[in-house]
């Protein structure tokens, strides 16, 4: 298989190019930027369609209007940051309060999910029009199998990658990084060679020169824990990983992970594209502004709990799924996490049923410590259509029993 890995950069606002910008903060006030705009330009008519105006005139918003990282208070983390911001040691998933210490003058942009979704859909529909075999890897990333795309083999895939890039740029103004390689594993790594808008083609014979010098952490699937363990064993680069015996890796990481690491280090990956995946679970969770106590903040906690159940139920109904494993997730003030779940007889998408079952789960978990997070999850999903069948069977069975007794 010939694979592409493409990811788009979802930063607009051309006037912020070259400046340290951080995107994140789950809890910013709704219309903060618009409120600031209104303040900065009081002569403008703001009442209606102000959002539309801001949308259409993004590049006219003066830099001075944007909020600064140093004014942030809350528990949000960084979703992404510009390269200028990264110079200060700022990176993804870092707490915003911590980032503010490192670079207080950075501009803080809110995460605008409806906008992101819109651009994400555009990005993906452009890709599928050009190359229909696409695996969805989240809002800003996809894998593409271009083996059978006409012209896909020209210049090792580079000309097709250019076409995709240009079409995305023309339609959305977004830049896009693309890696081209014999499989998904290498394509993903290649896509990072030339950010933010490069194209990298890596052939099988380039493994030793292009991939082996990289840190093990660059392998998709080796996270902080595995990386630390590898380092403690003296393995830092992918080349060093490739030099280890299979048996040695299995000894330290187990049969499955060890064998996988061995393959990955040698650039071997036979995973096909996954184009039709069904969701396994749906969940909603929230981190509180301040830690809450089960007894002292009972009312507040109860209200949040109910709301989360209603949100999950609404998500299930909107997407047409039902599930039978209801679960809760707590995070204590010491950041330790606990989960409890319970499987019910009939899959559901009903808020009351979810709330009731989740309530039972809550009774089985320690509640002495204060809580910083509460979440509700529904797993064991199936399409809602199937459920009526099962419910019908249950009803039939009930009817039969009634007749018998």
Hey, which residues are catalytic here? 141
Least Å distance, CB 276 to DNA, is 12
Nearer Cβ to DNA (131/308): 308
Q: How far is the CB of 334 from DNA (least distance, A)?
A: 7
**Would you give the end-to-end CA distance of the chain in angstroms?**
62
- Check: CB of residue 101 under 8 Å from CB of residue 95: no
Query: What is the Cα–Cα distance from 166 to 176, expressed in whole angstroms?
Result: 9
Rounded-to-integer distance, Cα 90 and Cα 42, Å = 35
**Both tokens of residue 244?**
């280890």
SS (H, E, C) 192-230: CCCCCCCEEECCHHHHHHHHCCCEHHHCCCCCHHHHHHH
Query: Residue 291: is it exposed, middle or buried by C-beta count within 10 angstroms (0-12/13-18/19+)?
Result: middle
- When the beta carbons of 153 and 240 are compared against DNA, the nearer one is 240
Smallest gap from residue 214 Cβ to DNA (A)? 13
Cα atoms in the 13 Å half-sphere on the side-chain side of 53: 14
Min separation Cβ 159 and DNA, Å: 25
Q: Which residue ranges make up the site for DNA (CB under 7 A)? A: 26, 75-77, 79, 92-93, 95, 97-98, 101, 137-141, 188, 219-227, 254-257, 277, 279-287, 315, 324-325, 327, 334-343, 361, 364, 372-373, 375, 379-380
Select 223 or 385, whichever has its Cβ closest to DNA.
Answer: 223
Check whether the bond before 218 is cis (ω within 30° of 0).
Answer: no
Residue closer to DNA (CB basis): 61 or 324: 324
User: Shortest distance, CB of residue 241 to DNA, whole angstroms?
Assistant: 13
Whole-angstrom distance, CA of residue 390 vs CA of residue 400: 15
Tokens 């998904």 belong to residue: 184
Secondary structure in 3-state letters for 247-303? HHHHHHHCHHHHHHHHHHHCCCCCCCCCCCCCCCEEEEEEEEEEEECCCCCHHHHHH
Q: How far is the CB of 329 from DNA (least distance, A)?
A: 8
Nearer to DNA, 37 or 324 (CB): 324
Report the residue number, 38 or 268, with the smaller CB distance to DNA.
268
- 39: tokens are 């303040």
């Amino acid at each position: 298989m010939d694979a592409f890995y493409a990811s788009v950069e979802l930063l607009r606002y051309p006037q912020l190019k070259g400046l340290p910008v951080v995107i994140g903060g789950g809890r910013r006030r709704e219309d903060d930027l618009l409120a600031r705009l209104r303040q900065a330009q009081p002569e403008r008519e703001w009442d209606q369609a102000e959002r539309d105006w801001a949308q259409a005139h993004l590049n006219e918003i003066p830099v001075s209007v944007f909020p600064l990282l140093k004014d942030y208070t809350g528990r949000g983390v960084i979703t992404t940051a510009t390269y200028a911001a990264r110079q200060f040691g700022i990176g993804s998933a870092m707490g915003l309060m911590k980032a503010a210490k490192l670079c207080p003058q950075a501009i803080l942009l809110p995460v605008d999910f409806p906008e992101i979704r819109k651009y994400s859909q555009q990005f993906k529909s452009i890709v599928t029009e050009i190359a229909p075999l696409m695996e969805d890897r989240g809002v800003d990333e996809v894998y593409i199998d271009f083996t059978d795309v006409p012209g896909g083999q020209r210049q090792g895939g580079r000309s097709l990658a250019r076409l995709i890039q240009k079409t995305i740029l023309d339609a959305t103004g977004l830049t896009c990084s693309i890696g081209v390689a014999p499989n998904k594993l290498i394509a993903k790594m290649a896509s990072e060679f030339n950010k933010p808008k490069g194209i990298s083609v890596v052939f099988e014979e380039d493994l030793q020169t292009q991939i082996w010098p990289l840190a093990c952490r660059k392998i998709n699937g080796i996270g902080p824990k595995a990386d630390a363990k590898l380092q403690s064993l003296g393995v830092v680069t992918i080349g060093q990983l490739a030099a280890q015996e299979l048996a040695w890796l299995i000894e330290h990481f187990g049969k499955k992970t060890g064998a996988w690491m061995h393959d990955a280090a040698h650039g071997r990956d036979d995973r096909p594209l996954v184009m039709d995946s069904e969701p396994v679970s749906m969940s909603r969770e929230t981190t509180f502004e301040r830690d809450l106590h089960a007894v002292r903040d009972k009312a507040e906690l109860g209200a949040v709990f109910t709301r989360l159940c209603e949100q999950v139920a609404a998500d299930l109904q909107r997407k047409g799924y039902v599930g039978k494993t209801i679960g809760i997730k707590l995070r204590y003030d010491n950041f330790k996490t606990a989960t409890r779940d319970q499987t019910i007889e009939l899959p559901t998408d009903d808020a009351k049923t979810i709330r009731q079952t989740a309530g039972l789960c809550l009774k089985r978990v320690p509640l002495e410590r204060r809580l910083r997070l509460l979440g509700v999850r529904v797993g064991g999903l199936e399409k809602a259509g199937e459920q009526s069948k099962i419910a019908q069977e249950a009803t039939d069975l009930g009817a039969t029993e009634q007749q018998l007794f």
